[in-house]
Amino acid sequence: MLKFVVRRLALFCVALIVLSLLVFACLRILPGNVAAVMAGTNSTPERIAALSEQLGLNRSYPAQYFQWIGDLLHGNLGTSVLTGRSTMAETWQRAQVTLPLIVLGLLLSLVIGIPLGVVASSHREGGLHSVLRYVSLTAGAVPALWGGLLLILVFGRGVGLIGIFPSQGFPEDGWSSPASALVSLALPALSVGIISGAQMMRYTQSALDGIAESGYITMAMASGSTRARAIRTTGLRIVLPDLISVTGLSFAQMITGVLVIENLFSLPGLASMLVTDVGNRDLIKVQSELMLLAAFFLLIGLLTDIAHRVADPRMRGVGAESVAPAQEVSA
Amino acid sequence: MSLIIKHLHVNIGGDPGKSLRRRSQKAPEKKILRDVSLHVADRERVGLVGASGSGKSMLAMSVMGLLPRTVHVSGSAVLDGTELIGGTPQDLADIRGRAVGFIFQDPGTTLNPVVPVGKQIEQPLRRHYDLSKEDRRERVSAMLEKVGLGASVASAYPHELSGGQQQRVGIACALITSPKLIIADEPTTALDAMTQLQIVELLVQLVDGAGASLLFITHDFSVLARVAQRSYVLESGEIVEEGDTAGLLANPSSQAGDRLVTAAKELTFARKESR
Amino acid sequence: MKGFRSRLRRALSKIGGTFGYIWHRGEGRFALIVLGIWLLVCIVAAFWTPESLDTSDGYNTWASPSPAHPLGTDGTGRDMLSWLMAGSGTELQIVVATCMLAALIGIVFISFTLARSALASEIAVVVTDTLLSIPIVLIALILAVPLGASLTVIIIACGVSYGLNLARIAKPQAVLAANSRYVEAARAAGSSRGRAFFRHVLPNVIPVMSVQLSICAGTAILAEAGLTYLGIGVPAGTASWGASLSASASFISIFPLTVVWPGALITIVVVALNLFGDSLRRAVDPVVNSQLRAAAEEVERGSGK
């Protein structure tokens, strides 16, 4: 296990380095003269030269890269050229909206998806199974934007049929008033959670269906469980490692939806910051922000892998490279 | 405890899955068991022998409700006065693991791979009895000793055990609640010859010690000779022969019985050769 | 040449049989009909839309459905139906390009995982496993800085992400095929590694891949809608379903009806693509498809097994 963690950590570091190179290459080498782009189309050559000087853009690419990485390692993400604010401070402030939204959405998706997936799998014959299947198919096919809009039309305060939740904005003072902050995240989290929950349900169901006829379930039934109960307990425990992996992956898959929903509900999260910065071509800032986010998601991936190992005792003693047993089980 | 099965029919319909079944005129219902009657008396060890595909495993699974609902079961199976056919899933679940214990062919594909074996052995206790944690742990330890494994095995995972050890765990699962009927479905098939013998001896000793009845399902007459006082021969879903095991072995009257006996003799002969 | 033609004919009849199987069931039929209409509309819209895309009816902004505008108009008085029809073409481009890119990346990575050199396969596994946790939108944001809002951003971001996922999902199947007796025999008979890959491994992976790709196609449409709304997808002025949805989204509180059409359209098409994928899975999965299973049993019996 320790060997696996060490190995996986080493891979994590390699991946970070590769990613930083990729981000750097995309943002420096592709767009041509960075300073000219940042200074705007109708700026004087003097202004461009001054900006280049200020940002150190007239140095060689390797020098720039190592400067940037060095700063990153010291926790210095630079300041925005346009607003003069510290990137780190702004990212942290925005993340306080986005991260809770992601976590709430993920929790909702688990709370919705797993029980319904179990129900669908234990009623393999009969109408309920097909009904749940079509519901999850449709809910999973809804664009996040549209889902959010429909929820606003139903629950949005001032707009909706039963206007009980705010549909715009986040409290000025942020989490210092937790109740109103939470309430303003209710509809956004619901939009994200329902769509992601539909996928979670489909996955749970198909994973459970895969072992529903297996000896494990028969054995649990022989010990005194009904089929439904055997699937709910033994079945769920057996597919748990796979569910953990899928949850980790859906973390990454949810993000597009989360950013869309943030914009739709005018939440001051990472989405509006990223979109604005990309639009403004505030390159140095974008570069650091994207790197930070990428590192965050890589970390989630790392944690997911470790959790998968912990949940599956068969994998604990095995080296990092052989993931084969898990695939055999899911197949 | 006695089990009396009369006129049991088991049919399996077409493809799995509901929507497919609707169009499955092409795949007709398949008859797995036809008019099977057998009985296991109190404290009796009965063998059910047949070639693979004869439907012998389906027999035990179907009367105890272990088959998916796409399988149609009709007839009668009475366990100590309780009719099993037509019982609700909950009724049957209440019987399984309490009055009837099961031992399966391959513990490698039946023991939960991600749960320590001790937890699995205590599962029937948890389902049927309200015992304290210590009480359960004590019984599991005692049971593990009985099947010839140390109490320390409780914390091991199935993949850490050998095939023989796994089957001992399987036997412990089946016997932990002291059920009065044990159904063993080819419990020795996945094991090597030496281990087979040990497992059979263990099973017979534990069943007799507990005063339970045993229905032993196998394709191997040579194993049956040691286990069962009386045996049934099943072929293509029908009982073709029955009688005391020694008699069957010495003088099988049906073709199927003859084939199985010959195979068993050849196997035993080969085994002796190789020693 | 003759060998190629007969192989082509066999492949075509196999594909025909697969589609027949899909059509046989209600869900599959629904999927095929929806996808068929989509293709038809793409072709029609390439030559004709009820109103020119540039026409805007300044007196009839946010109009409800009427004979002149069957689905109403948007904020600048443009005909919703015409824009959605024109959008189908854009959507098709995105879906086809994304799937092709994903398939290409998937195949390249699968071939790497099967490579003789342990290092190459190790690298392929590491790259797929780590990059998989990077969200599409992040890749799109990185690309959008140099490229601006464009179809290319969507296609590359989705294609890369789905391609890696494809490689991961198809890998067990590919490994199984690569270690099969077929390949062993072919290699023993002197056929090269690459040839064995294309002749024996790839055909075995294609069913799994096509199922996955049809689901990716649906996800690509959803990604288009999201990325376009965030301003890093389809550029302004280009017709797409996501663009129509985004345009109507900002006025949701005033004109709720206009938002129904693009959203419902996207949902229906994505459901159809998913159902198509599910039906395809059944069609190519011998465990479910009784005809395939019978054929396989026939072969097994024939080989005296």
Looking at the fold, whether B65 and B11 belong to one and the same domain comes out as yes
Indicate if the pLDDT at residue B191 is higher than 60.
yes
Q: Fill in the amino acid letter for A23.
A: V
A163 touching C (Cβ < 8 Å): no
Rounded to whole angstroms, how far apart are CA atoms A135 and A137?
5
**pLDDT value of residue C268:** 94
Indicate if the pLDDT at residue B17 is higher than 60.
no
Q: Best-predicted range by mean pLDDT among A257-261, C56-60, C204-208, C282-286?
A: A257-261
The answer to the question of residue A94 being in a domain is no
The answer to the question of residue B105 being in a domain is no
> Are B96 and A213 a contacting pair at CB < 8 A?
no
Indicate if the pLDDT at residue C92 is higher than 90.
yes
Query: Chain C: nearest CA to B257, how far in angstroms?
Result: 25
> Which residue, B133, B148, B174, sits at the end of a domain?
B174
Q: What is the mean pLDDT of chain C?
A: 80
> Which residue, B126, B153, B174, sits at the end of a domain?
B174
Looking at the fold, whether B191 and B72 belong to one and the same domain comes out as yes
Query: Chain C: nearest CA to A7, how far in angstroms?
Result: 11
Query: Chain B: nearest CA to C282, how far in angstroms?
Result: 10
Q: Give the mean pLDDT of C47-57.
A: 69
**pLDDT value of residue B267:** 66
Looking at the fold, whether B83 and B169 belong to one and the same domain comes out as no
Looking at the fold, whether B170 and B44 belong to one and the same domain comes out as no
Shortest CB distance from A125 goes to which of B61, B70, B102?
A: B70
The answer to the question of residue A27 being in a domain is yes
In percent, the amount of chain C with pLDDT more than 70 equals: 80
**pLDDT value of residue B26:** 44
Looking at the fold, whether A191 and A252 belong to one and the same domain comes out as yes
**pLDDT value of residue B93:** 92
Domain count, chain B: 2
Read off the CATH number of the domain in which B42 is found.
Answer: 3.40.50.300
Looking at the fold, whether B24 and B57 belong to one and the same domain comes out as yes
Q: Give the mean pLDDT of A230-256.
A: 89
Looking at the fold, whether B188 and B263 belong to one and the same domain comes out as yes
Indicate if the pLDDT at residue A177 is higher than 80.
no
User: Which tops the pLDDT comparison, A331 or C255?
Assistant: C255
A303 touching C (Cβ < 8 Å): no
> Are B23 and C290 a contacting pair at CB < 8 A?
no
A19 touching C (Cβ < 8 Å): yes
Query: Please, what are the domains in chain C?
Result: 81-304 (1.10.3720.10)
In percent, the amount of chain A with pLDDT more than 70 equals: 86
The answer to the question of residue A149 being in a domain is yes
Q: Is B183 helix (H, G, I), strand (E, B) or coil?
A: strand
Domain count, chain A: 2
The answer to the question of residue B107 being in a domain is no
Q: Give the mean pLDDT of A234-250.
A: 89
Looking at the fold, whether B196 and B76 belong to one and the same domain comes out as yes
Question: Treating both helix axes as pointing N-terminal to C-terminal, what angle do A270-280 and A283-311 enclose, rounded to 10 degrees?
Answer: 140
Looking at the fold, whether B125 and B7 belong to one and the same domain comes out as no
> Which residue, B120, B145, B174, sits at the end of a domain?
B174
Indicate if the pLDDT at residue A330 is higher than 50.
no
Q: Could you tell me the pLDDT band of residue B72, with boundaries at 50, 70 and 90?
A: confident
In sequence order, the 6+-apart residues with CB closer than 8 A to the CB of A136 are A116, A120, A198, A199, A201, A202, A205
Looking at the fold, whether A69 and A115 belong to one and the same domain comes out as no
Of A323, A288, A296, the closest CA to residue C135 belongs to A296
Looking at the fold, whether A182 and A271 belong to one and the same domain comes out as yes
Q: Among all residues of chain B, which has the CA nearest to that of C26?
A: B19
Q: Could you tell me the pLDDT band of residue C295, with boundaries at 50, 70 and 90?
A: low
User: Which tops the pLDDT comparison, C254 or C179?
Assistant: C179
Rounded to whole angstroms, how far apart are CA atoms C163 and C167?
6
User: Which tops the pLDDT comparison, A199 or C64?
Assistant: A199
- Which stretch of B42-56, C126-140, C205-219 has the lowest confidence by average pLDDT? C126-140
Looking at the fold, whether A123 and A249 belong to one and the same domain comes out as yes
Indicate if the pLDDT at residue A299 is higher than 70.
yes
The answer to the question of residue A148 being in a domain is yes
Q: Could you tell me the pLDDT band of residue B142, with boundaries at 50, 70 and 90?
A: very high
**pLDDT value of residue A328:** 25
Looking at the fold, whether A224 and A294 belong to one and the same domain comes out as no
Q: Among all residues of chain A, which has the CA nearest to that of B112?
A: A216
> Are B104 and A224 a contacting pair at CB < 8 A?
no
Q: Which domain holds residue B123?
A: 112-174
Read off the CATH number of the domain in which A247 is found.
Answer: 1.10.3720.10
Q: Give the mean pLDDT of C206-222.
A: 88
User: What b/e readout covers C121-137, taking b as 16+ CB neighbours within 10 angstroms?
Assistant: beebbbbbbbbbbbbbb
Structure confidence by residue, pLDDT tens digits, B205-264: 999 998 999 999 988 887 888 889 999 999 888 888 888 888 888 888 888 888 888 877
The answer to the question of residue B192 being in a domain is yes
The answer for B 155-194 residues in CB contact with C (under 8 A) is none
**pLDDT value of residue B249:** 83
The answer to the question of residue A187 being in a domain is yes
Indicate if the pLDDT at residue A229 is higher than 80.
yes
Q: What are the C-alpha distances in Å from C284 to residues C168, C208, C211, C277?
A: 19, 8, 9, 11
Structure confidence by residue, pLDDT tens digits, C173-198: 787 777 777 777 777 777 777 777 77
The answer to the question of residue B15 being in a domain is yes
Q: Give the mean pLDDT of B1-7.
A: 86
Report chain B residues whose CB lies below 8 A from the CB of C288.
15-17, 20
Looking at the fold, whether A129 and A255 belong to one and the same domain comes out as yes
**pLDDT value of residue A320:** 39
Q: Give the mean pLDDT of C204-224.
A: 88
The answer to the question of residue B31 being in a domain is yes
CA dihedral of residues A6, A12, A16, A17 (deg, nearest 10): 50
- Which stretch of A258-272, B55-69, B152-166, C59-73 has the lowest confidence by average pLDDT? C59-73
Report chain C residues whose CB lies below 8 A from the CB of A331.
172
The answer to the question of residue A215 being in a domain is yes
> Which residue, A263, A279, A295, sits at the end of a domain?
A279
Q: Is C104 helix (H, G, I), strand (E, B) or coil?
A: helix
**pLDDT value of residue B23:** 44
Looking at the fold, whether A110 and A259 belong to one and the same domain comes out as yes
Shortest CB distance from C25 goes to which of B15, B19, B27?
A: B19
Three-point CA angle C223, C80, C76, nearest 5°: 100
Q: Could you tell me the pLDDT band of residue A329, with boundaries at 50, 70 and 90?
A: very low
Rounded to whole angstroms, how far apart are CA atoms B204 and B197?
11
Looking at the fold, whether A178 and A143 belong to one and the same domain comes out as yes
**pLDDT value of residue A313:** 83
Indicate if the pLDDT at residue C222 is higher than 90.
yes
Report chain A residues whose CB lies below 8 A from the CB of B19.
130
Of C157, C279, B190, the closest CA to residue A133 belongs to C279
CA C269 to the chain's CA centroid: 11
Three-point CA angle C62, C66, C67, nearest 5°: 140
The answer for C 4-33 residues in CB contact with B (under 8 A) is 24-26
Which one of B12, B18, B20, B30 makes the best mutation probe of the C interface by having the most chain C beta carbons within 10 Å? B20
Q: How many helices (H) and strands (E) does chain A have?
A: 16, 0
Rounded to whole angstroms, how far apart are CA atoms C241 and A38?
32
The answer to the question of residue A201 being in a domain is yes
> Are B68 and A221 a contacting pair at CB < 8 A?
no
**pLDDT value of residue A265:** 87
The answer to the question of residue B191 being in a domain is yes
Looking at the fold, whether A62 and A203 belong to one and the same domain comes out as no
Which one of A121, A219, A318 makes the best mutation probe of the B interface by having the most chain B beta carbons within 10 Å? A219
Indicate if the pLDDT at residue B266 is higher than 80.
no
- Containing B235, the helix (H) or strand (E) segment is strand B230-235
Q: Fill in the amino acid letter for B204.
A: V
> Which residue, A258, A279, A300, sits at the end of a domain?
A279
Looking at the fold, whether A262 and A288 belong to one and the same domain comes out as no
Looking at the fold, whether B62 and B192 belong to one and the same domain comes out as yes
Of A122, A125, A128, A132, the closest CA to residue A228 belongs to A122
Q: Give the mean pLDDT of C268-297.
A: 75
**pLDDT value of residue A317:** 54
Q: Which domain holds residue A6?
A: 1-82+283-331
Looking at the fold, whether B92 and B151 belong to one and the same domain comes out as no
Q: Could you tell me the pLDDT band of residue B179, with boundaries at 50, 70 and 90?
A: very high
Question: Is the overall model pTM greater than 0.90, yes or no?
Answer: no
The answer to the question of residue B106 being in a domain is no
Looking at the fold, whether B191 and B265 belong to one and the same domain comes out as yes
Structure confidence by residue, pLDDT tens digits, B75-88: 899 998 889 888 88
Looking at the fold, whether B130 and B244 belong to one and the same domain comes out as no
The answer to the question of residue A311 being in a domain is yes
Q: Give the mean pLDDT of C139-152.
A: 84
Rounded to whole angstroms, how far apart are CA atoms A148 and A75?
36
